[in-house]
Amino acid sequence: MKKKKAVLVGIENPIRIKSKRYVIKILYKRAKKNPFLSNKTYDEYLDYIKEQIRNLEGIDVQFDNEEELYNALKSIGWLKEINVLVASFIFANYGIT
């Protein structure tokens, strides 16, 4: 399996993918820093993501687990997977320029 990182729209630091569930948990951990989301439980956060997709993309997303949410985010372009080597090169050049 190739090592990949997940790059999410609006988040500059990529997440190294251990599992799809891990990526969603890290998203929740980062969202807890937002004052508008800091009081939400994990399940409320997942509902919030579902509502955001519905409002911004006009797509009604149904998911039963984090893997399905990850796949939904990837399919609408909110999440992209890139190879670690490519990511290292891009982010190294970004830091230099």
Domains of the chain: which residue ranges?
Answer: 4-96
49 close to 26: Cβ distance less than 8 angstroms: no
Tens digits of residue pLDDT in 33-86: 888 888 999 999 999 989 988 898 888 888 888 888 888 888 888 887 776 555
Question: Sheet containing 79-83: which strands, arranged edge to edge?
Answer: 15-16, 4-8, 79-83
Judge contact between 5 and 16, C-beta under 8 A: yes
Reported pTM: 0.69
Residue 97: per-residue pLDDT: 46
Taking only the tens place, the pLDDT of each residue in 16-38 is 777 888 888 888 998 898 888 88
Backbone angle region of 10, left / alpha / beta, with phi > 0 → left and psi within -120 to 50 → alpha = left
Q: Does the pLDDT of residue 96 top 70, yes or no? A: no
pLDDT of 87 strictly over 50: no
Backbone angles phi, psi at 76, to 5 degrees: -95, 0
